[in-house]
Structure 1
């Protein structure tokens, strides 16, 4: 079983009779489809629409106590718990940080995990990401032996951003982090924290900055955090990289201007081009409709 222990993930349990409604009123995704056989992907935002944390949402079968588990970035779990408690008010909800006892593992090649790996769920963002599981931390090392670098290389190759590497929590909007492309935002559900800003960006097409996959011409990627420029003007920054590919947070309107002027795109001094994956639906620079809904 080729699997990776994602040591940078934490786990928060949200339980109680109001758990579903509590999350529905807070997170960006629609909680209605989330069930034991269908995980969800969403985020908690600031009132200004910035991402506090994104996470996968896993429903616990009623026979195992019910409620939901949030597969969240480890460095965000403390702040996420604090924010959730702030919004709890009189809701009949219990919040527990299970990180110390629980590990998140992920298929490193997109294949299925064994049923006895723990609480197994399919990554809802993209089929190619395969399955994940929550299991006892003490035994995680025995069943997940593939280095994390291998899992991230697969993620980067698929074009899926990772918070803290490809965008900054507290600074990025959901559109910038591709949540709207990966099923992490519902534009049909009712209100949630930051919903007005997100809806405005969607309907006005004002998301000029996006995390996009890039390919370096020489097969060697720039370091994470390297500046991306064209014609001496800043485009953004390079994020996580592997095998000559990377994810970069770029101003796509500036990329379009550079391409129209024949100026090379450079990250850390290395030339790159944009590589559009199938799941991205908005037009890239040079495609028909770009500028209308970038």
Structure 2
């Protein structure tokens, strides 16, 4: 009675942990401990603003002013993105780079897909300049989860800054 549930779609009842991880990653759902460490990410970085994980109508929590300002000004620069590659992705914790400059960090992986927390302005600049985004020596593609409401910024940093 009174239980709240969230459905992410149909799954095989016999699924194991690896299948769940692949399903979660494909859906763009970050998990603390695997994709970020508690205390190292703003709620917006890990899409808690989009999944109902933070309230903007209720106050009095540590960091409320900063979180509210990010929400109302739309200034979140880091976001969870879905990473894909033609081959297997490297181990979690590998930096994502553009021309040797860091743009994000690879989190959970499941074969050729993964999650990363990345600077969306730098990713946009790389995409606009047609520069490869790398995870170690693996070229990757990054995408916004299909359910997310945010977009890449209109004004990106220059390719040199990316």
TM range (shorter): 0.7 to 0.9
1:160 matched residue in structure 2? 29
TM-score, normalization by structure 1: 0.49
Contact 2:35 2:108 in 1 (8 A): yes
Partner of 1:206: 75
Contact 1:283–1:290, Cα closer than 8 Å, also in 2: no
In the other structure, the counterpart of 1:62 is none
Pairing of 1:98-117 with structure 2 (within 5 A) = none
- Alignment match of 2:147 (pick from 279, 282, 286): 279
Q: Does 1:256 align with 2:136?
A: no
Query: Partner of 1:128: helix, strand, or coil?
Result: coil
- Equivalent residue, structure 1, for 2:112: 244
Quick check: 1:188 aligned with 2:45? no
Give the drift of 1:190.
Answer: 3.0
**Which blocks of at least 5 consecutive residues in structure 1 are unaligned?**
1-34, 39-121, 132-143
Is the aligned partner of 1:178 residue 2:144? no
Q: Distance in 1 between matches of 2:79 and 2:36?
A: 9
| Alpha-carbon distance in 2 for matches of 1:184, 1:163 | 13
CA displacement at 1:277 relative to structure 2: 2.4
Tell me the equivalent position of 1:23.
Answer: none
For the pair 1:266 / 2:134, whether they are aligned, the reply is yes
Deviation of 1:290 (Å): 6.1
SS of residue matched to 1:210: strand
- 189-198 vs 158-167, greater mean Cα deviation: 189-198
1:219–1:245 contact (8 Å) kept in structure 2: no
Higher relative contact order, chain-length normalized (CA < 8 Å, sep 6+) = 2
CA deviation string 1:209-254 (max 9, x = no partner): 11111111x1322211111001111111111011311001111111
Aligned residues: 155
Q: Which has the larger radius of gyration?
A: 1
User: What residue number does 1:36 align with?
Assistant: 2
What per-residue deviation string (whole Å, max 9, x for no partner) do you get for residues 187-212 of structure 1?
12233232111001111222101111
How high is the TM-score relative to the length of structure 2? 0.85
The list of structure 1 runs, each at least 4 consecutive aligned residues, that deviate by more than 6 angstroms after superposition, is none
Deviation at 1:278, TM superposition (A): 2.4
Larger relative strand fraction: 1
The answer to whether the Cα contact below 8 Å between 1:212 and 1:247 also exists between their aligned partners in 2 is yes
Q: CA RMSD, aligned part only? A: 2.2
Gaps of 5+ in 2: 157-162
- In the TM superposition, residue 175 of structure 1 has moved relative to its aligned partner by 0.3
